[in-house]
Amino acid sequence: MRKYKAAILGATGMVGQKFIQMLSQHEWFKITSLAASERRIGKFYGDEVDWKVSANIPEEVKDIEMLPMDPKAIDADIVFSALPSDTARKVEGEFASHGFVVASNASAYRMEEDVPLVIPEVNPEHLALIEIQKKNRGWDGFIVTNPNCTAIMLVISLKPLMDLGLKNVKVATMQALSGAGYPGVPSLAITDNIIPFIKGEEDKVENEPLKLLGKFNGEKIEFAPISVSASCHRVPVIDGHTEAVWAGFDKDVSVEEVIEAFNSLRPLDLPTSPEKVIIVRKEPDRPQPRFDRDEGNGMSVSVGRIRKDSSSTIKYIVMGHNTVRGAAGASILNAELMIKEKLI
């Protein structure tokens, strides 16, 4: 199989670095272009970037000259966006209008009616929105987005529960520092502390699942008929978002039924897909970020402490790697799905 040329927008940030780390080892993609802010244009990536993801910058990107975020300057089959949302709105639209396929980790277009918000194991059929998007906007290319890093862990665990009559969800999150980027939260603010507020996070966690779990009716997504209530918190963990979930159903549901449902979510035949999408932990004190975030190379989601709260409510803990499954890995898996579906 030929390798697809990949560009990364926002290549110097934490998510951009994670894209580079994952794509540099990828059998389907070859990094050909790195785009960054104006002050870095013309400089070599290895000279300019303080690498945060691991100890060493991959050799193949050290001597890549950073380019402007201009469609005319980029040669790629697919563009991965790790841009902040305020920048992504303008830049991603420009790339799509110039014929590029954009796999975005930004929130700018996630809730747009004609833009797919996709988790491949959850709602691959939502890619049908692409043709509607291109027609609506007059674009030769298109944008596909992945969810918020917290919402994606939650929704993967909720998808198999939909057939059991899921009606309402309450979730309290314990979110890792890497979710705030680098340098993120000041050390004196988070050491010996929990911050019970993350700007804009609760709205994303409450709204994105409704689109992700909704149905495509041929024209648009009909949102799932469930409610989600979230309380989001930053905790002193480096990587791995942990979430306490209360799932309410329209009937009596047993723990055994929920476990069977979790185990029913099947992986895809794609390079970045893990062998198990959901790993059910039987230990009473798991999942834990330190021990479980790298399961499935960071692409598996772990659940545990599955127990009754009432006859129609099950509570459990779900945890996943926020910069892998919740960010760069999510966009890469979306791109793999688009290749499989011959959209790239």
Tell me: the pLDDT tens digits for 118-157?
999 999 999 999 999 999 999 999 999 999 999 999 999 9
Q: Which residues is 145 bridged to in the sheet?
A: 104, 117
Percent of the chain scored above 70 by pLDDT? 99
Tell me: the pLDDT tens digits for 281-337?
999 999 999 999 999 999 999 999 999 999 899 999 999 999 999 999 999 999 999
The pLDDT of residue 36 is: 86
H-helix or E-strand spanning residue 187: helix 187-190
For the chain, the structural domain boundaries read 4-147+327-340, 149-321
Q: In this model, does residue 1 exceed pLDDT 80?
A: no
Whole-angstrom Cα distance, residue 166 to residue 157? 12
Whole-angstrom Cα distance, residue 270 to residue 260? 24
Tell me: the pLDDT tens digits for 214-239?
999 999 999 999 999 999 999 999 99
- Please state the rounded mean pLDDT for residues 247-274: 97
Chosen CATH of 149-321 out of 3.30.460.80, 3.40.50.720, 3.30.360.10, 3.30.230.10: 3.30.360.10
Strands (E), the chain: 4-9, 29-35, 78-81, 101-104, 142-145, 166-175, 215-216, 221-222, 227-234, 241-249, 278-280, 301-310, 313-320
Whole-angstrom Cα distance, residue 316 to residue 305? 5
Average pLDDT, the chain: 96
Tell me: the pLDDT tens digits for 44-87?
999 888 877 776 889 899 999 999 999 999 999 999 999 999 99
Q: In this model, does residue 2 exceed pLDDT 90?
A: no
The pLDDT of residue 56 is: 81
H-helix or E-strand spanning residue 260: helix 255-264
Edge-to-edge strands, sheet with 278-280: 227-234, 166-175, 241-249, 313-320, 301-310, 278-280
Count of C-beta atoms within a 10 Å radius of residue 202: 18
Q: Are 114 and 129 in contact (CB under 8 A)?
A: yes
Spell out the residues 6+ positions from residue 180 whose beta carbon is closer than 8 angstroms to its own. 198, 234
Residues with catalytic function: 149, 241
Angle at 159 between CA 263 and CA 117, to 5 degrees: 130
Fold of 4-147+327-340: Rossmann fold (3.40.50)
H-helix or E-strand spanning residue 337: helix 329-340
Among the listed residues 241, 189, 184, the one whose alpha carbon sits nearest the alpha carbon of residue 14: 184
Count of C-beta atoms within a 10 Å radius of residue 159: 23
